[in-house]
Amino acid sequence: MRALHAEWTKVRTSPGTVWLLLALGLVIVAVGAIAAAGVGCAAPGCPVDTARISLTGVQVGQAVVAILAVLAMGGEYSNGLIRTTLTALPRRWDVLVAKAAVVVVLVAVTGAVAVPATAAVGRFILTDRGMLRLGEDSLPRAMLGSVLYLLLIAVLSLGVAAATRDSATAIGVVLGLLYVLPIVAQAVDDPEWQERLLRLAPMSAGLSIQATTDLDSLPIGPWPGLGVLAAWAMAAIAIGGGVLLRRDA
């Protein structure tokens, strides 16, 4: 509990936090609106996945979440605060859990505001443009899933930061994991390998939670996909925790 209180104080009083959270919310809504305004009709009847288009902002927002989580851990390494923290709270695992809890709560609160907002804005724009609205039934699942997705990204980033102990390296690793694998998958010609990559990559698997139409054609179902991301996040936090427990700070 003391660990939690300490971490909360750190995050609350660090001047960047508020700006990052504001940026997170803004980016989610703005990119969602731009995507909704820019999306085109691919097939007759415009069967666009309204939910998925409106929630595009999560793809950029996750970078902000990654920063927030990486700085919570990596920032302490860059200014040496980590030694003070671990002197005050020698139970290192508690420190990591407390950091995760604080970051997760902040992201959850911001996501809970921004995700419904972008869904509403996107829906308004798409309806205005006469795009067919499909899969409205699964919209709540897509919205809840998007928030959960951001939380898991936060945990993943925190784990990577604890493992690499350097903010810049950590953010590079996280963004590489998230953005590069889907791009590689796009360039792969072999459909079987492409699907395999899309099932395993944290971003493409995790974002299947946003799909509300054509669920059969997804490389992986919505909840199993989020499960893949959860596995990545758990692996990262386990490795990060291991490094934190064993190494000198």
Partner 1 sequence: MSGLVRTVRAEWTKFRTVRGWMIGLLAAAGLTVGLGLLPGLQGSCGKQGPGSECRAPVGPDGVEVTDSFSFVNRPLTGDGSLTARVTSLTGRIPTTPDPSLPDGPMTTRAGLAPWAKAGLIIKATTRPGSAYAAVMATGDRGTRMQHNYLYDVAGSPGSVATTGPRWLRLTRAGDTITAAESRDGLQWTEVGAITLPDLPDTVYAGLFVTSPQHAEAISGTLGVSGAAGGPTEATATFDRVTVSGGGPNAPWASTVIGESGSRSAAEAIESNAEGFRVTGSGDIAPAVAGAAGAGTTVTQTLVGTFGGLIVVVALGVVFITTEYRRGLFRTTLSANPRRGQVLAAKSIVIGGASFVAGVVGAAVVVVLGQQLLKANGVYVLPATIGTQLRLIVGTGALLAVAAVLAVGLGVLVRRSAAAVMIAVVFIVFPYLLAMSVLPAGAGGWLLRVAPAAAFAVQQSTPAYPQVANLYTPASGYFPLAPWAGFAVLCGWATLALVVAALVVRRRDA
Binding site for partner 1 (CB under 8 A): 16, 35, 38-44, 47-49, 52-53, 56, 59-60, 63-64, 66-67, 70-71, 74-75, 78-79, 166-172, 175-176, 179-180, 182-190, 193, 197-198, 204, 207-208, 210-211, 213-214, 216-219
Minimum distance between the CB of residue 181 and partner 1, rounded to whole angstroms?
9
Q: Which is nearer to partner 1, 39 or 98 (CB)?
A: 39
Q: What angle do CA 60, 61, 67 make, to 5 degrees?
A: 105
Residue 194 CA: distances (Å) to CA of 83, 181, 184: 45, 10, 9
Sorted by sequence, the CB contacts under 8 Å of residue 112 that are 6+ apart come out as 147
Minimum distance between the CB of residue 77 and partner 1, rounded to whole angstroms?
11
Minimum distance between the CB of residue 33 and partner 1, rounded to whole angstroms?
13
Helices (H), the chain: 2-13, 16-38, 50-54, 57-79, 81-88, 92-128, 139-164, 167-175, 181-187, 191-200, 202-206, 222-246
Q: Which is nearer to partner 1, 93 or 127 (CB)?
A: 127
C-alpha 158/C-alpha 163 separation (Å) is 9
C-alpha 105/C-alpha 108 separation (Å) is 5
Q: Which is nearer to partner 1, 26 or 89 (CB)?
A: 26
Neighbour count for residue 6 (Cβ, 10 Å):
17
Contact yes or no for 116/76 (Cβ under 8 A)? no
Q: Which is nearer to partner 1, 51 or 237 (CB)?
A: 51
Minimum distance between the CB of residue 174 and partner 1, rounded to whole angstroms?
9
Minimum distance between the CB of residue 180 and partner 1, rounded to whole angstroms?
5
Q: Which is nearer to partner 1, 172 or 227 (CB)?
A: 172
Using the 8-state DSSP alphabet, how is residue 179 labeled? I
Q: Which is nearer to partner 1, 1 or 42 (CB)?
A: 42
Minimum distance between the CB of residue 40 and partner 1, rounded to whole angstroms?
3
Structure tokens at 222: 């919505």
